[in-house]
Amino acid sequence: MTQKKESVAAKVVGVVAALAASWLAQRLIDLVWRRVLGHKPPKPEDESDARLAEIAAAATLTGAAIALSRVLATRGAARVMARR
pTM of the model: 0.75
pLDDT exceeds cutoff 60 at 1: no
Q: How far is CA 82 from CA 46, 72, 77, 79, in A?
A: 43, 15, 8, 5
pLDDT of residue 2: 63
Q: CB–CB of 13/81 below 8 Å?
A: yes
Q: Residue 27's Cα: distance from chain center in Å? A: 9
pLDDT exceeds cutoff 70 at 30: yes
pLDDT exceeds cutoff 70 at 4: no
pLDDT of residue 31: 95
For the chain, give every domain's residue range. Answer: 17-41+52-84
